[in-house]
Amino acid sequence: MYIEKFNIKKSKPKIIIFSGAGISAPSGISTFRDKDGLWENHKIDEVCNEGTWKNNFKIVHDFYNERRNQLENVEPNIAHKVVSDIIYKYGEDNVINITQNVDNLFERANVTNTLHVHGELTKMQCENCGHQWNIGNKSFDIKKDKCPNCDSVKNVRPKIVFFGGSAPMYKYMSRAFEYASLENSIVVVIGTMGNVVPIDAYLKDKKAKKILCNMEKSKYINEKNYDNVYYESITTVIDKIEKNIEKYWTN
């Protein structure tokens, strides 16, 4: 992870791409929360709660094992690939890619530097010793698998930010959005309703050009704060967004 990029140099504008579930939904990955409050027929509090995950140990691991296994059956869509192209075109030093998503579709689209603010599904972590490791698309078997560093089992969890838990990557996200204060910066917001990460609060009164793409309007996002607004699938509008970036980028 490229933490050094977030040592802010205010003199140099950036292209900041911030995405939520809407960028991965066209690939077949379910959005985080359905209208009935369930996630893949599970209660959020059962499978994504900092205070209860150990009590629901088997349910939690079964749930995330299934999510991890499903990654084998999905592919990056055109939006992930265009983000990769944008980074290649404008240079890694000029583009910051931030996502709320825990999938690895950006990585599979050759986007090597992505800030996952809510964790990474393909990684595990041990609360006993702090060790983290890649598990890929494999399941974690609670009967035989353990932390490779300290042999703990009951303290092993997916590297996911649960509700009520700390989100250490938020400080780097906040630093990244400081670049939006620069007039020549560009912020692209894709597929997020703004209720988990209050994106409007981060971008309020910022000088950067702002582009929004969501499937529908959200009460948490004021479209008047954006220079370009699209309410449609990212897969159908990504070429327009790319052209907007080309028009606005003056470096």
Q: What is the three-class DSSP state of 218?
A: coil
The rounded average pLDDT for each run of 10 residues, N- to C-terminus, in the chain (251 residues) is 54 92 90 56 85 95 93 95 96 94 96 94 97 96 97 97 94 94 96 95 95 96 97 96 95 67
177 and 67 within one domain: no
Count the domains in the chain. Answer: 2
pTM for the model stands at 0.93
11 and 127 within one domain: no
185 and 111 within one domain: yes
Asked if residue 251 lies in contact with residue 184, where contact means CB atoms within 8 angstroms, the answer is yes
Which residues lie across from 163 on neighbouring strands? 49
Amino acid at 120: E
Cβ within 8 Å of residue 4, ≥6 positions away: none
- Domain end, chosen from 129, 160, 191, is at 160
Report how far apart, in Å, the C-alpha atoms of 228 and of each of 22, 210, 213 are: 17, 7, 8
Asked if residue 99 lies in contact with residue 32, where contact means CB atoms within 8 angstroms, the answer is no
List the domain range (segments joined by +) for residue 19. Answer: 1-29+76-118+167-251
Q: What is the three-class DSSP state of 130?
A: coil
- Domain end, chosen from 110, 144, 160, is at 160
Output Rg (C-alpha) for the chain, integer angstroms.
Answer: 18
Q: Tell me, what CATH number does 148's domain have? A: 3.30.1600.10
Catalytically active residues, by annotation: 118
Q: Tell me, what CATH number does 16's domain have? A: 3.40.50.1220
180 and 224 within one domain: yes
